[in-house]
Amino acid sequence: MKWVKSLFTAAVATVALGVSNVAQAAELNLFAWSEYVPQSVLDGFQKETGIKVNYEAYSSNEDMLAKLLSGAAKYDLVQPSEYVIEALIKAGKLQALDHAKIPNLKNLVPTYTQFAFDVGNKYSVPWMSGHVGIVYNKKKITDPITGFKDVFNGKYNKRLVILDDGREIVSWALATQGKDINVITPEALAGVRQMIAGWLKQVKIYDSDSPKDKLTNGDVDIGVVWSGEGAILLAQDADTWAWVLPVEGTHRFVDSLAIPVGAPNVEAAHKFIDYMLRPEVSVLISEEFPYTNPNAEARKLLPEAAQKNIASFPPDDAKLELYKDIGDAAKLIDELYTNVKSE
């Protein structure tokens, strides 16, 4: 029973030091997108609070959602995109946040507190926003690239890297046909199936994690990628790379931190959310992963070149649209994408 004595001794010592919360979490279990959380942020949080962050990564919302709902592991923070936040709220799977414990919420750009999927940030706090766009090597591609129709016109067969994401690809096809990207019906999918099949035959590489590497390595010349990937390429070599907002319109995403129901370390989760909202911390995230920073105070700390990077900060009139929760229709997309991709 030595361990009982040790626990008792530790508790007494904690009280003697005047620490009121004896049960304060020593760990925080974060389930988040791959290549999205700087190690410097994790290290800084641990150094300040003594709370170790266990960072487990995923590469798609669907993978995250399946594991979260399976109950296979207990997470304190997850990092879903807007339509998954909406679905999790409907399913009662997220805890309401205690705003009194997140004073740095005041740093958010006001528009990031009024999104329809979680008005007032009752359940979620934006981490980063972004969109899907087209990046290409200007030294190898000389024809104008304005949108998806130019990427998939047949001229660049096996020179393409695209996101390995069925809903994204379906939305590109729907947008190209002038249809609502959030209306997913059997009829709508049937209408884009042939188009998608033709597109996928031209793809050389599918990569949702780090498609920029395939471009810089010379494996491909055009990518349909996340905006943060494009921003890095532009910052590295604007003479080589061009970024295009598809004329047809494209998906704007908002990735947020949220606390699942049943999270074992709720206090630690609130501490981490508030910590990442500090301007000096938030800017570290932008420096490593240059998506659209929702923190108004952090934006002021960015270099002028970063603030003017079109992939990081698109113009206000850009044709960008949030995804909505489509429920069971997601299965229809999965089925179409799996079948067409294997043909």
* Angle of CA points 298, 301, 302, to nearest 5°: 100
Residue 105 gets which letter from DSSP?
G
Confidence check: pLDDT of 3 > 70: no
Identify the pLDDT of residue 24.
Answer: 52
pLDDT at 5 over 60: no
Decide if pLDDT at 10 tops 70.
no
Domains of the chain: 12-129+253-307 (3.40.190.10), 130-252+317-342 (3.40.190.10)
**pLDDT mean across residues, the chain:** 92
**E runs forming strands in 2-51:** 27-33
| Selected residue with higher pLDDT from 258 and 74 | 258
Cβ density class 274-302: b for 16+ within 10 Å, e for less: bbbbbbebbbbbbbbbbbbbbbbbbbebb
Q: Give the mean pLDDT of 308-326.
A: 96
- Backbone φ and ψ for 247, nearest 5 degrees, come out as -60, -25
Dist CA 34 CA 301 (whole Å) = 25
Q: Are 161 and 205 in contact (CB under 8 A)?
A: yes
Beta-strand runs (E) in the chain: 27-33, 52-58, 77-78, 124-137, 160-162, 203-206, 222-226, 241-244, 250-258, 320-321
From the list 140, 169, 162, 127, the residue with the least C-alpha distance to 272 is 127
Per-residue pLDDT averaged across 303-312, rounded? 97
Residue 146 has pLDDT above 80, yes or no: yes
CA 175, 178, 183, 186 torsion: positive or negative? negative
pLDDT reported for residue 25: 54
Q: What is the mean pLDDT of residues 61-74?
A: 84
What is the arithmetic mean of pLDDT over 177-206?
98
* pLDDT at residue 21 greater than cutoff 70: no
Q: Is the pLDDT of residue 20 over 70?
A: no
The model's pLDDT over 259-273, given as tens digits with 9 standing for 90+, comes to 999 999 999 999 999
Rounded to an integer, what distance in angstroms lies between the CA atom of residue 340 and that of residue 337? 5
Give the dihedral of Cα atoms 35, 39, 41, 47; nearest 10 deg.
160
